[in-house]
Amino acid sequence: MHEKNLNITAIPAFGDNYIWLLTAGGTTCAVVDPGAAEPVLERLEDQGLELRYILLTHHHPDHIGGVSGLLEKYAAQVYGPDDKRIPYTHHICREGESVSLPDLNTEFKVLEVPAHTRTHIAFYGENALFSGDTLFSIGCGRLFEGSPAEMQQSLDKLAELPAATRVYCAHEYTQSNCAFALAVEPENAALKARAAEVDRLRAAGEITLPTTLGDELAANPFMRTRAKSVLEAARKIDPAATPGSSTLAAIRVWKDRF
């Protein structure tokens, strides 16, 4: 993997989605999870960029809805999981494979991270993780097509990446996630600091991403299901909770009705 000037910026869509735009100093680019075409087309036009690659983490409409509109204008290559619900994929991405984007002189590793959806994948490289709706800052995705054990396994897989990894998730949910996380761990100093930073950023109209894996391990209750404080909080929902997936299950249920 090369170290160089990969630039990653957010294109907001639908109020709380981010479509990530990747450039490397030239005139070509990639986008991750374009749920809408319009804001991407506008940005590309503005910056005189040509779309070469589209990376998809999962099949939900707010992540793939813009693909057909983008393909009408650009002959981009589409990379995504093995899922018939995504009809546009040129390159199926499987666990451990590398996605090479030569125009950006960049390579990403594919990680299969099921639970939000059965076929959800993440892309990792250049010190960046595109985690879709699996890992959010101070939260995780809802369990639409997987069990708490699968989400635990998926988050454990992401936790093995270097702590300095920058996490680019697909939604601006951080502020509401912090409110919930503080109910779980009111005494967590790293979380309190993150919540204060997020309040300041949002008040200034700024985005709260990327986060880092290290910060998430310190403050995100879904990455901390083996911490004593999170376990004790989970036992208010499920007295039989043990460290790991049953704690994740309990706080996920709690969050869903928070």
Residue closer to Fe ion, measured from CB, 62 or 112: 62
94, exposed or middle or buried, with CB in 10 Å at 0-12, 13-18, 19+? exposed
User: Which residue among the candidates 58, 59, 120, 215 is catalytic per the annotation?
Assistant: 58
Clarify whether 215 is annotated catalytic: no
Q: Are the CB atoms for 135 and 215 separated by under 8 Å?
A: no
Count of residues in contact with Zn ion, rule CB under 5 A: 2
Q: Please, what is the minimum distance in Å from the beta carbon of residue 235 to Zn ion? A: 29
112 lies in the binding site for Fe ion (CB under 5 A): no
User: Which residue among the candidates 33, 60, 83, 215 is catalytic per the annotation?
Assistant: 60
Of residues 114 through 133, those in contact with Zn ion by CB under 5 A are 133
Measured N-to-C along each axis, helices 245-256 and 174-184 cross at an angle, to the nearest 10 degrees, of 120
Of residues 26 through 85, those in contact with Fe ion by CB under 5 A are 62
Binding mask 127-166 for Fe ion (x = CB under 5 A): ------x---------------------------------
User: Which residue among the candidates 33, 59, 62, 83 is catalytic per the annotation?
Assistant: 62
Of residues 129 through 158, those in contact with Zn ion by CB under 5 A are 133
Nearest to 221 by CA among 175, 193, 252, 242: 252
SS3 121: strand
Instruction: By CB under 5 A, name the binding residues for Fe ion.
Output: 62, 133
